[in-house]
Structure 1
Amino acid sequence: MIDPDFLDELDRFDTALKRTSNAPLQGDQQSPDVGEGLTFSDYRRYVAGDDPRLIDWRVFARTEELFIKRFEAERNLTVHVLLDATASMDFGDGDRNKFEYGAKLGLGFCHLTAEDHNDFQFSLIDEVPDRIDTDTSTQGEVLRLVDHLNQTTPSGDGDIEAALEAYADTIHSRSLVLVISDLLFDPDDIADGLGALARNDVLVAQVLTPEELGPATTGDAIFEDPESDETRRTYFGGSAARRYGERLRDHLEAVDERCRILGVEHELVDTGDDFFDTFATLWLGARLGGERRIQR
């Protein structure tokens, strides 16, 4: 069970994302909106009906022509949390459970986003995205999400490509998208799903347990597939352990390579690590990733 008291500890982190949801994050597309915002965009010639208060009289003094200032409309950042709710996420004992650990990461992002008076959305993904927030970006809503997630049991094998593509169609402004999953899917399906989100600022937290990253089991063991409940008894050790390590390494490298190609931030998360250290890495990575893209 997720204890909401952990949210209080997150207040020691900087609550400002220091980014906007518009073009400076990725690309050079300008907002079409014009108004008396804070970010100057450019000039255009004055035409009848324009607000005369926007005329730049210093430009007129130099050119004897009327120009008005254009400004980019200021926008709040929207943080989208997409949490994998397939059966494989229901693995790991206690605080090491992947779903619980990942849920706390997502809730932490929502908590600090609400403190900064920005918007968040929280969805569970399996075969399709299931939005579980009520479109109210408040601390009360974060606590309601804690209750909802405590009553959620991950199930099914999911379709990450279809779920992420479907969710991408619901995003209508540039945003930060946090994808939390063990990513135990085909790397090409993962890439196709993330590619649909890539016009946004995307951070992927790949959550695995210490047992998955380095199984300590040796000798006769029974392995259970959480998505199908099938079991297999086998001897694990020696060559079997080496093959497992090689396949896991190949999978992690394949996922990381595809994320690099897409320009997606990818972080491997070990649920055996201190939660607050992990959160700090993701939170600062999200901020610094946006700043790097602004500088390009």
Structure 2
Amino acid sequence: MIDPGFLDELDRFDTSLKRVSNARRQGEQESPDVGEGLTFSDHRRYAAGDDPRLIDWKVYARTEELFIKRFEAERNLTVHVLLDASASMDFGEGDANKFEYGAKLGLGFCHLTAEENNDFRFSLLGDLPDRIDTDASSRGEVLRLVERLNETTPGGDGDITAALSTYAETIHSRSLVIIVSDLLFDPDDVASGLAALARNDVLVAQVLTPDELDPEATGDAIFEDPESEATRRTYFGGSAARQYTDRLQRHLAAVDERCQALGIERELVDTGAEFFDTFADLWLGARFGGERRGGRGGG
């Protein structure tokens, strides 16, 4: 179960994220395009280094003191979180469960997006996308999503191509798309789905558990396919373990190669890693990845 208390921890953690963000933007003007996409908020006294274009000369005429106008960004970016809800995501014990870990990553993006006065959308991916938010883009909506996700049991095979392609048709504004999935699909199917979204900024978080990345099972073992519920008893170790590792690494490399070809950033996430460290890497990657990729915008 997802404990909504992690959002309070995220609020405290956000202070350090903002320090990192500000450091990376050091020397840049906060509002180089004064007035466009911004709404007036209030005044504050002029200080050395402030942009003189922001001085309110009407206030100066009345008071003979320099004040600058402060603006708030209008909601001009929509963040779309697409969380894989196929059966393979229901794997991993406790905090390492892929679906719950991935859901928290998506909820974290929604929470901080709303704090920045932007809009978010949240959808589950199965054979087709299932949008589960109510278009509120608020903290209350994030809490409602926590309840909704705690009631969700991943299931089915999923169709990554159809789900992503169908969702792409719903995007009609400047957008950042966050895809959270184990991507245990054919790499060509993954590429076909991602290609439909590639005109937007896209960040893929590929979530896998420590047991998948480095399985410890040795000797006789029973393996279960979570999508078909088929089981197989076999000896796991030696050559079988090496074959598994080689096959996994080939799959990861194939997915990464296709993402790079599309100019899409993909991060491999170990669900055994500390959550806030992982979230920080993804959040900062989303904020600055667009600059590295040339700052694409959605249509």
TM-score (norm 2): 0.79
Q: Is the 8 A contact 1:86 1:157 kept in 2?
A: yes
For residue 174 of structure 1, report the CA deviation from its aligned partner.
2.3
Match of 1:105, as an amino acid? Answer: L
Show the counterpart of 1:159.
Answer: 159
- % same residue: 76
Query: Secondary structure of 1:37's match?
Result: coil
Task: State how far apart, in whole Å, the 2-side matches of 1:278 and 1:38 are.
Answer: 31
8 A contact 1:178–1:204 mirrored in 2 = yes
Give the residue type in structure 1 aligned to 2:101: Y
Whole-angstrom CA distance in 2 between matches of 1:121 and 1:255: 25
Cα deviation digits, residues 8-63 of structure 1 (max 9, x gap): 121222469x9xxxxxxxxxxxxxxxxx6369xxxxxxxxxxxxxxxxxxxxxxxx
Contact 1:15 1:116 in 2 (8 A): no
The alpha carbon displacement at 1:269 in A equals 0.3
Instruction: Quote how far apart the aligned CAs of 1:291 are.
Output: 2.2
Say whether the 8 Å CA contact 1:121–1:135 is kept in structure 2.
yes
Q: Distance in 2 between matches of 1:218 and 1:292?
A: 43
| Unmatched tracts of structure 1, length 5 or more | 19-35, 40-72
Structure 1 residue 75 displacement after superposition? 5.7
Match of residue 226 from structure 2: 226
- Contact 1:15/1:115, CA 8 A, preserved across alignment: no
Partner of 2:148: 148
The DSSP-based 3-state class of the residue aligned with 2:259 is helix
Q: Which amino acid aligns with 2:36?
A: G
Aligned ranges 1:16-27 → 2 under 5 Å: none
Q: Structure 2 stretches of 5 or more lacking a match?
A: 22-34, 39-72
SS in 2 for 1:140: helix
Q: Is the 8 A contact 2:201 2:295 kept in 1?
A: no
Distance 2:268 2:186 in 1: 17
The aligned counterpart of 1:293 is 293
Between the aligned partners of 2:153 and 2:169, the Cα distance in structure 1 is 26
1:74 shift after superposition: 6.8
Provide the residue aligned with 2:191 in structure 1: 191
Query: 2 CA distance for matches of 1:273 and 1:247?
Result: 23
Say which SS state the counterpart of residue 272 (structure 1) adopts: coil
Structure 1 residue 7: Cα displacement: 0.8
| Distance in 1 between residues matched to 2:174 and 2:233, nearest whole Å | 49
Count of equivalent residues:
247
| Contact 1:15–1:113 (CA under 8 A) maintained in structure 2 | no
SS at match of 1:9: helix
> C-alpha offsets along residues 123-173 of structure 1, whole Å, 9 cap, x if unaligned?
000100000000000000000000000000000001000000000000001
TM-score where L is the length of structure 1 = 0.80
CA contact (8 A) 1:133 1:145 kept: yes
Contact 2:75 2:117 in 1 (8 A): no
Q: Distance in 1 between matches of 2:277 and 2:235?
A: 36
Cα distance change of structure 1 residues 103 and 199 upon mapping to structure 2, 3 Å threshold: same
CA contact (8 A) 1:37 1:74 kept: no
Question: 1:207-222 maps to which residues of 2 (within 5 A)?
Answer: 207-222=207-222
**Alpha-carbon offset, residue 295 of structure 1:** 7.0
Task: Tell whether the 8 Å contact from 2:75 to 2:118 is kept in structure 1 after alignment.
Answer: no
The answer (yes or no) to whether the contact 1:174–1:199 under 8 Å persists in 2 is no
On the 8 A contact 2:74/2:118 being kept in 1, the answer is: no
C-alpha separation between the residues in 2 aligned to 1:15 and 1:122? 24
Q: 1:235 to 1:191 in 2, by over 3 A?
A: same
Counterparts in 2 of 1:1-296, with a 5 A limit? 1-11=1-11, 12-13=13-14, 14=17, 37=36, 76-294=76-294
Tell me, in whole angstroms, the C-alpha distance in 2 between the residues paired with 1:270 and 1:290: 23
Q: Cα offset for 1:292?
A: 2.1
